[in-house]
Amino acid sequence: MTLSAPIYVLKQQAKVLSRKEGIPLDQALDRIASQEGFSAWSLLSAKTMSKKLVSTLFAQLHPGELALLGSRRGQGKTRLSLELAIQIMRHGGKAAFFTLDFTPTDVADCFKALGEDLGAYLDRFLLDDSDQICAEYIISKLASAPVNTLVVVDYLQLLDQKRENPDLTCQVQQLRSFARERQLIVLCLSQIKRSYDPASQPCPGMSDVRLPNPLDLSLFDKTCFLNQDTMQIA
């Protein structure tokens, strides 16, 4: 859904409406949001911020890179990764989503919430929720993936659950080498420790990544941390 004007202009319109009709600013904002097709200003604002975050990620991630996207549960990292996939596919690229957390129905619902039909992307989007997902499995499934394919791993810690799989360090090294050799973008979603306190820092950091077993996080070419509408990329 495209806004009729930039968000700062819509805010100005709400202030004018508030003064003109003598109503609280929050009510004026909701009325402006309604005119734009949203039930509340908070939803309009969240949608706008989401687009900004996607644009930031789109500009920062490059073929051949292994990246980490971490946040506490409920902060929208999976949705953000799917928005990024849609953005890349709109630009002619392909995307793959390997998940041990979401079901195909969950992914379809997420596309729908984003105003997209998953069925329209089936020629460019690989969705895999196999219990066998690990680095070797991902590499085998993407043997013929073209350059610039986005590969989302949902999520990092679940790769470490099966004893028969190589340890997490080995798997991350495999994914890093694969990204470089094939010039793909591999984005691993990551959990964050419960001890992370947003009151003390706006975004989580490297020390907040939840790791049941040791992992050298310097293996990642980029790290992205998300908390509400704030993102930090390094």
Each residue's pLDDT tens digit, 141-167: 999 999 999 999 999 999 988 888 899
- Write out pLDDT tens, residues 182-201: 999 999 999 999 999 988 89
What pairing do the DSSP bridges indicate for beta strands 125-128 and 95-99?
parallel
Q: Are residues 187 and 180 in contact, defined by beta-carbon separation less than 8 angstroms? A: no
Q: Residue 123 has what pLDDT?
A: 95
pLDDT at 134 over 90: yes
Give the pLDDT score at 193: 95
Q: What percent of the chain has pLDDT over 90?
A: 67
Q: Token pair of 35, please?
A: 């005119």
Query: For residues 207 and 213, what is the distance between their CA atoms, to the nearest angstrom?
Result: 14
Residue 95 dihedral angles phi and psi, to the nearest 5°: -140, 150
